[in-house]
């Protein structure tokens, strides 16, 4: 029973793991591109989490039907899908902006390594 | 009249859109920006008058009532903050007209005005948001705009500082969003008022989830507001930006995280004391750390703007410490200090900008006798330094006085002692600057026309005048804030 329970909630476990992997990549890797990738992995983890809490097994898509046998059934929460969409927009713009700064830094310094940038600076 | 609440963010947001459209040539971008900020200030002033009568404005976007619609809420606390932030912004924009055009090429200049307005929109949005997700969106708007303002300078150190800030604020955003989703998971609400009613039941069934959510939110907003030890992005970011941008970033942008946490505590978490009890102690410890280490770092800096940036870390510590005693008088001091620090640090960064603009000197050691060359600038710098230390008759004294008084009233003499001790520390790094500036011997003879042009000087002196007025007649403001503080603490 426990294994079934865990299997049904695998998405929660996966989202937290993605979050931690992303965070770890962001904070420990010296390469700027890898940091941005870590940021994206972390955000994907959060989005998976958000979508998971709005979904339960056997729920319907949140569209109101004129007639049909669905009376009394539960709908998936559409609010979280909207939130995830907004979150994705923010994540995309952050990524685009971060990559554009990285390009400029690479043009000026010729390196993507944080430690070397730090040395160039001082 | 209710529309004023949403116009407060819509005006700067549309200004940010119109600047790149109409501000292509000459100083038109500046004029659009100045007009927008003037309108915003007028809007905030009207809101201040309305909310000063004791009624808060709740605006339902699209006329859909919560829990489904988005609510924007302006009370005395957010109206007062919005008004004072717009005032500082007015001075900074007026100052930027002459200073920034030397540093940036015309194309970048246009984006500078646009980003400044976007930053203002995000900050005012944070102070008037009434649901968690709106808060998150506005937090991201202001963070991205702040990074943009730093990187608009297009130099290696600015770019690196902007990237560091961007990545760390992405970590903060991740924490905030995860915290929000945890809270939504256990309560099913995002609106503050509905959360406050649903949270006690959620705390009873799943206390650990709520605690984790609160911890994530505190980490996220703590990082955004440079709470020690999450402050490492701040000195680089604020010292490598353009001087007027530093004034806004250090004076105002850092406060958005604090305002968000205040609001969350006040309108949501105060309903469930079990969660709240753990947090202030935790915040207080970090705040004291920031006050001590920030001061130590500030003392060792040789660069004027870096020193000012570390001083911001110290002042953020003050605000968090005064907040953590959860006493209306101390909270009045904390809110007042948010505004005072915005005025003073804005003025300090702008006067540093004047010195850099006219003489090119950034190192504190080079500022010997600068007061003889630029007396008016030095007067502003002195008022700022006195206010930071908390000398009577400056506004810094009033807020620190209330913080100490509130801490004693709440039975926490230790907090009061730390505040007094840290003021002494501030004197150790601000007074040498003032003494050297007035009484030091300049290395080279003074140039013929050293003082900055009046169009750059009057915004700085205007901020100084406001600081002095707030210091000499604080009663009206303190009375309004006292009510707001009681309301925030639910008393």
What six digits make up the tokens of B243? Answer: 């001087």
Compute φ and ψ for B363, nearest 5 degrees.
-80, 140
pLDDT interval class at B195 (50, 70, 90): confident
CB contact under 8 Å between A50 and B181, yes or no, is yes
Query: What confidence tens digit (pLDDT) does each residue in B159-176 have?
Result: 888 998 999 999 999 999
Does B293 share its domain with B409?
yes
Place of tokens 């509130």: B406
Cis (ω within 30 of 0) for the bond into B229? yes
Query: Measuring CA to CA, how many Å separate A115 from each of A101, A121, B303, B438?
Result: 17, 10, 22, 41
pLDDT at A19: 92
Note the pLDDT of residue B269: 65
Chain-centroid distance of CA A26 in Å reads: 13
**Using omega within 30 degrees of 0 as the cis cutoff, is the peptide bond preceding B67 cis?**
yes
Same domain, B206 and B339: no
Q: What pLDDT sits at residue B393?
A: 85
| Shared-domain flag, residues B363 and B397 | yes
Instruction: Write out pLDDT tens, residues B144-158.
Output: 999 999 988 888 888
Q: How many domains does chain A have?
A: 1
Range of the domain at B144: 1-270
Q: Are residues B95 and B201 in the same domain?
A: yes
Check if the beta carbon of residue B304 is closer than 8 Å to that of residue B386: no
pLDDT score of B1: 73
Both tokens of residue A8?
Answer: 């049904």
Residues B222 and B347 in one domain: no
Cβ distance B275 to B269 under 8 Å?
yes
Q: What is the CA radius of gyration of chain A?
A: 20
> Do residue B200 and residue B348 come from a single domain?
no
Residues in A touching B159 (Cβ below 8 Å): 101, 104-105, 108
**A51 contacts chain B (CB < 8 A):** no
* Residue-by-residue DSSP string for B317-330: HHHHHHHHT--HHH
ipTM for the predicted complex? 0.90
| CATH number of the domain encompassing residue A13 | 1.10.287.3510
Give pLDDT, residue A21: 94
Query: Could you report how far apart the first and last alpha carbons of chain B are, in Å?
Result: 28
Task: Please tell me the distance from the alpha carbon of residue B168 to that of residue A94, in angstroms, as a whole number.
Answer: 12
Tell me what the mean pLDDT of segment B201-228 comes to.
86
Distance of alpha carbon A86 from alpha carbon B213, whole angstroms:
20
- The reply to whether A67 falls in a domain is no
Nearest chain B alpha carbon to A94: B144
For the stretch B359-404, pLDDT in tens is 877 887 777 877 777 888 888 888 888 888 888 888 888 888 888 8
Tens digits of per-residue pLDDT, A55-99?
877 777 777 776 655 566 777 888 888 899 999 999 999 999 999
pLDDT in tens, B259-306: 998 888 776 666 666 666 667 778 888 888 888 888 888 888 888 888
Task: Say yes or no: A97 contacts chain B, CB-CB below 8 A.
Answer: yes
Inter-chain contact A26–B173, Cβ cutoff 8 Å? no
Residue A108 counted as domain residue = yes
Q: How confident is the model at residue B449 (pLDDT cuts 50, 70, 90)?
A: low
- Shortest distance between the Cα of B174 and any Cα of chain A, in A, equals 6
At residue A68, the pLDDT reads 59
A86 is a domain residue = yes
Residues 6+ apart with CB under 8 A from B240: B150, B153, B155, B157, B158, B160, B161
d(CA A115, CA B149): 24
Task: Tell me whether residue A2 is in a domain.
Answer: no
Residue B64's CB is within 10 A of a number of other CB atoms, namely: 11
> Which of B270, B305, B325 marks a domain boundary?
B270
The answer to whether residue A117 is domain-embedded is yes
With a cut of 70, say whether residue B223 has pLDDT above it: yes
Q: Give yes or no for residue B42 having a pLDDT over 90.
A: yes
Kindly list the residues from chain B whose CB atom is less than 8 angstroms away from the CB atom of residue A26: 167, 170-171
User: Per the structure, how many domains does chain B have?
Assistant: 2
From B212, B244, B270, the end of a domain falls on B270
Query: Same structural domain for residues B318 and B380?
Result: yes
CA distance A110 to A119: 13
Q: Tell me the residues of chain A between 18 and 47 that have a Cβ less than 8 Å away from chain B.
A: 19, 22-23, 26-27, 32, 35-36, 39, 42-43, 46
Q: Do A43 and B154 touch (CB under 8 A)?
A: no
B71 sits in which H/E element: strand B70-74
Task: Give the CA dihedral B187, B61, B220, B487, nearest 10 degrees.
Answer: -80
Whether residues B334 and B440 share a domain: the answer is yes
Average pLDDT (A109-113) is: 84
Nearest residue, CB atoms, B171 vs list A23, A104, A105: A23
Query: Could you tell me if A110 lies within 8 Å of chain B, comparing CB atoms?
Result: no
Neighbour-count burial for B349-370, b at 16+ CB within 10 Å, e otherwise: bbbbbbbbbbbeebebebbbbb
Question: Last residue of a domain, which of B255, B270, B285?
Answer: B270
Q: Specify whether the CB–CB gap between B381 and B344 falls below 8 A.
A: no
The nearest CA of chain A is from the CA of B178 a distance in Å of 6
Q: A22 is in which domain, residue-wise? A: 7-58+72-121
Instruction: Give A72's DSSP letter.
Output: T
In the A/B pair of chains, how many CB contacts fall below 8 A? 77
Is pLDDT above 80 for B481?
yes
């Amino acid at each position: 029973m426990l294994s079934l329970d865990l299997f049904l909630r695998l998405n929660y476990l996966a989202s937290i793991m993605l979050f931690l992997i992303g965070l770890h990549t962001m904070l420990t890797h010296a390469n700027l591109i890898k940091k941005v990738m870590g940021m994206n992995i972390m955000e994907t983890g959060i989005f998976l989490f958000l979508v998971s809490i709005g979904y339960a097994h056997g729920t319907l898509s949140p569209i109101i039907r004129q007639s049909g046998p669905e009376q009394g059934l539960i709908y998936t929460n559409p609010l979280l899908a909207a939130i995830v969409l907004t979150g994705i927009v923010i994540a995309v713009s952050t990524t685009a902006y971060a990559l554009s700064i990285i390009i400029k830094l690479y043009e000026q310094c010729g390196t993507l390594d944080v430690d070397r940038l730090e040395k160039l600076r001082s | 009249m209710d529309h004023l609440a949403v116009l407060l963010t819509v005006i700067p947001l549309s200004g940010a859109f119109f600047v790149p459209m109409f501000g292509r040539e000459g100083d038109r971008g500046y004029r659009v920006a100045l007009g927008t900020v003037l309108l915003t200030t007028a809007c905030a002033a009207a809101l201040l008058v309305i909310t000063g009568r004791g009624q808060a404005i709740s605006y339902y976007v699209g006329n859909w009532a919560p829990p489904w619609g988005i609510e924007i809420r302006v009370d005395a606390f957010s109206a007062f903050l919005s008004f004072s932030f717009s005032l500082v912004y007015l001075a900074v924009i007026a100052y930027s007209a002459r200073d920034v055009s030397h540093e940036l090429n015309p194309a970048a200049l246009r984006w500078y005005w646009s980003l400044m307005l976007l930053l203002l929109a995000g900050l005012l949005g944070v102070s008037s948001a009434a649901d968690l997700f709106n808060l998150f969106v506005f937090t991201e708007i202001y963070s991205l705009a702040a990074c943009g303002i730093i990187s608009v300078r297009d130099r290696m150190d600015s770019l690196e500082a902007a990237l560091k800030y961007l990545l760390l604020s992405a970590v903060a955003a991740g924490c905030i969003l995860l915290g929000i989703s945890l809270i939504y998971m256990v309560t099913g609400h995002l609106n503050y008022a509905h959360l406050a009613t649903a949270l006690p039941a959620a705390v009873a069934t799943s206390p650990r989830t709520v605690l984790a959510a609160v911890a994530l939110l505190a980490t996220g907003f703590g990082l955004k507001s440079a709470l020690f030890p999450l402050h490492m992005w701040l000195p680089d970011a604020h010292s490598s930006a353009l001087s007027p941008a530093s004034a806004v970033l250090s004076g105002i942008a850092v406060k958005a995280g604090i305002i968000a946490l205040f609001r969350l505590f006040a309108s949501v978490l105060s309903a469930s004391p079990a969660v709240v009890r753990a947090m202030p102690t935790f915040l207080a410890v970090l705040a004291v750390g920031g006050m001590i280490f920030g001061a130590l770092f500030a003392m060792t800096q040789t660069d004027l703007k870096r020193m000012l940036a570390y001083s911001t870390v110290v002042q953020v510590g003050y605000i968090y410490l005064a907040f953590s005693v959860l006493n209306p008088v101390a909270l009045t001091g904390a809110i007042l200090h948010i505004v005072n620090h915005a005025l003073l640090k804005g003025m300090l960064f702008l006067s540093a900008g004047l010195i850099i603009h006219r003489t090119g000197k950034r190192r504190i050691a080079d500022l010997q006798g600068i007061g003889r060359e630029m007396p008016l600038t030095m007067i502003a710098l002195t008022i700022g330094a006195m206010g930071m230390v908390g000398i009577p008759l400056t506004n810094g004294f009033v807020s620190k006085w209330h913080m100490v008084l509130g801490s004693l009233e709440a039975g926490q003499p230790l907090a009061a002692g730390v505040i007094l001790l840290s003021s002494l520390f501030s004197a150790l790094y601000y007074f040498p600057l003032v003494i050297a500036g007035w009484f030091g011997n300049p290395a080279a003879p003074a140039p013929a026309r050293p003082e900055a042009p009046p169009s750059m000087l009057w915004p700085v002196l205007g901020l100084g005048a406001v600081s002095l007025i707030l210091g000499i007649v604080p009663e009206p403001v303190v009375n309004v804030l006292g009510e707001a503080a009681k309301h925030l603490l639910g008393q």
